[in-house]
Amino acid sequence: MNAERVSQGSYWLETAPAGAPAPPPDADVSVDVAVVGGGIAGLSTAWELARRGREIAVLEAGRLAAGVTGHTTVKLTALHTLIYDHLRRTRGPEGARLYAQSQNAAIRHAEAIVDELDIDCDWEEAAAFTYTENPQSVQELCAEAEAAREAGLPAEFVTETELPYPVAGAVRVSGQAQFHPRKYLLALADGLRRRGASVYEGTRVVGLTEGSPCTLTTEAGVSVRARKVVIATHYPVFDRALLFARLSPRRELVVAGVIDEERAPRSMYITPEQSTRSVRTAPLSDGRRLLIVTGEHFTPGTADVEERFERLSAWAKARFPEVTLTHRWATQDNDSTDSVPLVGPLRPGSHHTYVATGFGGWGLSGGIMAGRLLSDLVAGRAVEWSGLYDPRRVASVVREGGAFLKHQAEVVRHFVGDRIPPLTGLAPDDIARGDGAVVRTGTGQCAVHRDEHGQLHAVSASCTHLGCVVAFNRAEKAWECPCHGSRFAPDGQVLQGPAVKPLKKRDL
């Protein structure tokens, strides 16, 4: 891919620009419920509560729907690759049924909101497929079709799709949807404001004191008091139950390009293999469609991202030779160790604080589901599927101890291994323009970036979350932490949590 002619940003952000940022609070605030995070989980929760008459404040560190939600591939489906066969084995048929019911209800709920608020967000009903080109994976897909059907979804095993290349088999679920996430969420935020909610952007929350009421503190020192607090920051910035031990960060790449209408698939596709490929299209204003291909996932800070973009682009061009690539971007999500999101009370014994995280790449249906679940919990209502998603669950985590231990071993490796000085360490003079590296200095390990003008910028290499050593992502010009996925700009500013503090500046 010729990177110079390809936009390096998300298509969703480019085609639904927000207006002027909503200013942060300039004085202390008191509300019923404070929602930290303005992505799909946070805004959906705020919306559900506002329509029930609650006084709401949404506190977003950056811009609304511009983080993970602004970079997704936007498949709104209850078919999450191979989840149902996994769930019926690990949580039983009832667990699989509750999962299907809650995720499918989220799609229908979003559809009703689009109708109610008359949102122009390119909503399209579409079928979702999990497919394979590998004959050896067909058995798995047959089992998934059966499990998804048992769980209550309109699922079937098929061997034909509209893709322009043969597949060995696929699970098909009809009645799913795709849409423009920013158009949807910016309209939802407008609806929130009309209902009297306060929506703050550029407002990073750095402190939480639980109580009656709870008190949040912003970076600027403003206090927000709230009877209930919802942490919907993707990776929880307040992690009183040590959920980080049960979450693995995963970064994933996206390439997109223009394709003629008659050659564009209308359904949504994903492969179950290790290096997943996901395909969908979106309508363009000139009648053609945007082909969106996702894949190449990796742990932040551990991959040659440029090489992976090349590989994904080559795959897209080989399968869709007529596509002209126009965009590329990356997204990030967290996988929970038992593959089920963590949505509910923030920690054992908490009565006023809630969390939503661990959507494993399925944050759209998951975020809308979380909004409904958390708003019911805040209102004190019983919800049939709350036990399935309860972050305090232990049985399934114990059952899936292998995934838990594997993740912890990785984290320990970075905690310990990355602190050992490399045998052939780089010096700042070795760093090319546009690149960055961790170098040893007299004061410890420094993360050094040389900008396109040749200027060096040095910050501490120690992540401000729990101290792992960051690594440079040259393709996206960011420092990334492999332990829990925090990301920082070259000057150390936080791009993505769980870290809430910037990397400290260093003199070389």
Comparing CB distances to ligand FES, the nearer of 236 and 371 is 236
User: Is the CA virtual torsion 183, 185, 188, 192 positive or negative?
Assistant: negative
Comparing CB distances to ligand FES, the nearer of 132 and 332 is 332
Structure tokens at 277: 């490929």
Whether the Cβ atoms of residue 485 and residue 476 lie closer than 8 Å to each other:
no
Comparing CB distances to ligand FES, the nearer of 207 and 467 is 467
466 binds ligand FES (CB under 6 A): yes
Minimal distance in Å, beta carbon 4 to ligand FES?
32
φ/ψ of 433, rounded to 5, equals -60, 135
Minimal distance in Å, beta carbon 406 to ligand FES?
17
Task: Output DSSP code: residue 135.
Answer: G
Beta carbons within 8 Å of 462's beta carbon, 6+ residues apart:
444, 445, 468, 469, 470, 503
Distance of CA 123 to the CA centre of its chain: 20
Extended strands (E) in 386-496: 436-441, 444-450, 456-460, 471-473, 478-480, 487-488, 494-496
Among positions 473-502, residues that touch ligand FES (CB under 6 A) are 481, 483-486, 498-499
Minimal distance in Å, beta carbon 378 to ligand FES?
28
469 binds ligand FES (CB under 6 A): no
The site string for ligand FES over 217-246 (x = CB under 6 A, - otherwise) reads: ------------------------------
Minimal distance in Å, beta carbon 243 to ligand FES?
12
Extended strands (E) in 108-243: 124-132, 155-158, 169-178, 198-200, 205-209, 214-218, 223-231
Minimal distance in Å, beta carbon 490 to ligand FES?
17
Comparing CB distances to ligand FES, the nearer of 355 and 378 is 355
Look at phi and psi of residue 192 and say left if phi exceeds 0, alpha if psi is from -120 to 50, else beta: alpha
Nearest to 180 by CA among 101, 60, 276, 290: 290
Minimal distance in Å, beta carbon 236 to ligand FES?
12
Minimal distance in Å, beta carbon 292 to ligand FES?
28
Comparing CB distances to ligand FES, the nearer of 298 and 385 is 298
Comparing CB distances to ligand FES, the nearer of 339 and 464 is 464
Where is 268: in which H helix or E strand?
strand 268-270
Comparing CB distances to ligand FES, the nearer of 104 and 445 is 445
Distance of alpha carbon 238 from alpha carbon 243, whole angstroms? 10
Comparing CB distances to ligand FES, the nearer of 37 and 257 is 37
Minimal distance in Å, beta carbon 405 to ligand FES?
18
Comparing CB distances to ligand FES, the nearer of 106 and 463 is 463
Minimal distance in Å, beta carbon 499 to ligand FES?
6
Minimal distance in Å, beta carbon 497 to ligand FES?
8
φ/ψ of 280, rounded to 5, equals -155, 170
Distance of alpha carbon 126 from alpha carbon 364, whole angstroms? 15
- Choosing from 224, 231, 459, 468, the residue that interacts with ligand FES (CB under 6 A) is 468
Minimal distance in Å, beta carbon 305 to ligand FES?
18
Comparing CB distances to ligand FES, the nearer of 387 and 467 is 467
Comparing CB distances to ligand FES, the nearer of 191 and 498 is 498
Binding residues for ligand FES, total number by CB under 6 A? 12
Minimal distance in Å, beta carbon 307 to ligand FES?
24
The site string for ligand FES over 425-464 (x = CB under 6 A, - otherwise) reads: --------------------------------------x-
Cα angle vertex 298, ends 294, 301, to 5°?
A: 125
Distance of alpha carbon 60 from alpha carbon 236, whole angstroms? 13
169 binds ligand FES (CB under 6 A): no
> How many residues are listed for the chain in this entry?
508
Nearest to 460 by CA among 494, 432, 431, 502: 502
Structure tokens at 498: 């769980």
User: What would you measure as the largest C-alpha separation in the chain, in angstroms?
Assistant: 63
Comparing CB distances to ligand FES, the nearer of 77 and 248 is 248
Distance of alpha carbon 212 from alpha carbon 231, whole angstroms? 17
Whether the Cβ atoms of residue 177 and residue 76 lie closer than 8 Å to each other:
yes
Binding site for ligand FES (CB under 6 A): 463, 465-468, 481, 483-486, 498-499
